[in-house]
Structure 1
Amino acid sequence: MIAETGLASIFAAAAGLMGTVVLLTVLAGGARLTATTTATTCNETSPTEPLSAEPCGQFPDVMPTGGFAERGVIAVLAALHMRGVPYSWGGGNANGPGFGIDQGAHTRGFDCSGLAEYAWAKAGARIGGQTSTQWDAGVRVPRSQVRPGDLIFFATDPARPATIHHVGIAIDTTRMVHAPSTGSTVRIDTWAGDPYREHEFIGIIRPATTRTTASRTTP
């Protein structure tokens, strides 16, 4: 795996506008780009939990002005902003937290794929609301090349994509932000080196930023 210092170098090399991350808001009839600073985004209060400077501190205020690197950072920051939101089975979509189904019917929040859909919608990409569609929503990348915003997938049988049951959003080479399970909340966890996660790791997908996929419908 690449070191986190190497990851920071990737950001620095791709730097464009000083102190600016361009957040994409998809509107009817087109897209509008709104400029804000990384620090401002990181310092905003999440719905239930303040977002500390770490891990946002690894994202410099110098950001690329286009392409995956920028949108990946937007996606991961959007997910980090949801820390503390309850897990809800089947909950959440591109618009934000929502009531789920079955055991999630009375909880407004996200499941793993709902959080991923929301985060990438903020970055201007529609990746679908199920892990099965998200697995096909981009290109496969080796874990040595993981970047912020990449989708990390886990399966009961890593040899069979049909058994994928969980997805997280990469923060760096070792950590992800995700909605783990009923009774938990959106949070940061270390996946690399964790025996359970390593046993079920199946691959990493880098979403295609121009893809349009139907969203799930969540109350």
Structure 2
Amino acid sequence: MAVCVIACLGSGAYGAPARASASGSIALRAALEMIGVPYSWGGGGVHGPGYGIGRGARTRGFDCSGLAEYAYARAGILIGSTTTEQWRTGVRVPEELLEPGDLVFFDSDRKRPGPEHVGLALDGERMVHAPYTGALVRIDPLDRPDLLGVVRQDLGRGDAQG
């Protein structure tokens, strides 16, 4: 499956524009390679899937921030292990400038400060993420009412390229 995912991404079959940054592309491919890995609350990190805590203690996999941390570590960028740390790194960009590999953050409870979920944008319509206990890492629609914002982690890239 990983070979197909990488080949499909490279060919544009997933709709990923060629404008994705180098590290964003690497991170996105790393996340796509994890499709099918179980969700594990508190699980995963820079070294890949891991056993979580609490509800995730018996499952080897990723929670949402663990998947994002792993994907960006594969690209050589350390972004922290929680959604809050990841929200505070990189640069926030307007949703209409979203690129493949950008982190997309969600918050369904605006009374509580900070994001509660993160995924990696595949394109302007889809993301790869570890959604919830009992689910697997997968691709889902990006169009959700609880979208909080977009963060780009590749700070070394110049946006002057066309």
In the TM superposition, what is the alpha-carbon distance from 1:57 to its structure 2 partner?
Answer: 2.7
Q: Which has the higher contact order (CA 8 A, sep 6+)?
A: 2
Aligned residue type for 2:78: R
Trace 1:174-185 onto structure 2 (pairs within 5 A). 174-185=125-136
In the other structure, the counterpart of 2:142 is 191
Q: Which runs of 4+ in 1 moved over 2 A?
A: 50-57, 156-160
Deviations 1:27-65 (A, max 9, x none): xxxxxxxxxxxxxxx853xxxxx63754553179xx78x
Q: How far, CA to CA, are the matches of 1:187 and 1:201 in structure 2?
A: 18
2:83 to 104, 108, 131: 131
1:206 to 145, 152, 160: 152
Structure-1-length-normalised TM-score: 0.64
Q: 1:150 to 1:159 in 2, by over 3 A?
A: farther
Structure 2 alignment gaps of length 5 or more: 157-162
In the other structure, the counterpart of 1:214 is none
In the other structure, the counterpart of 2:63 is 111
Trace 1:1-219 onto structure 2 (pairs within 5 A). 44=3, 51=5, 53-58=7-12, 69-158=21-110, 162-192=113-143, 197-198=144-145, 200-209=146-155
Q: Alpha carbon RMSD of aligned pairs, Å? A: 2.4
Are the aligned partners of 1:156 and 1:163 in contact in 2 as well (CA < 8 Å)?
Answer: no
Q: 1:121 to 1:143 in 2, by over 3 A?
A: same
Structure-2-length-normalised TM-score: 0.85
In the TM superposition, what is the alpha-carbon distance from 1:164 to its structure 2 partner?
Answer: 1.4
Structure of larger gyration radius: 1
Aligned residue type for 2:53: I
Q: Sequence identity of aligned pairs in percent?
A: 51
SS in 2 for 1:51: helix
Q: 1:52 to 1:72 in 2, by over 3 A?
A: closer
Q: How many residues align?
A: 153
Structure 1 alignment gaps of length 5 or more: 1-41, 45-49, 211-219
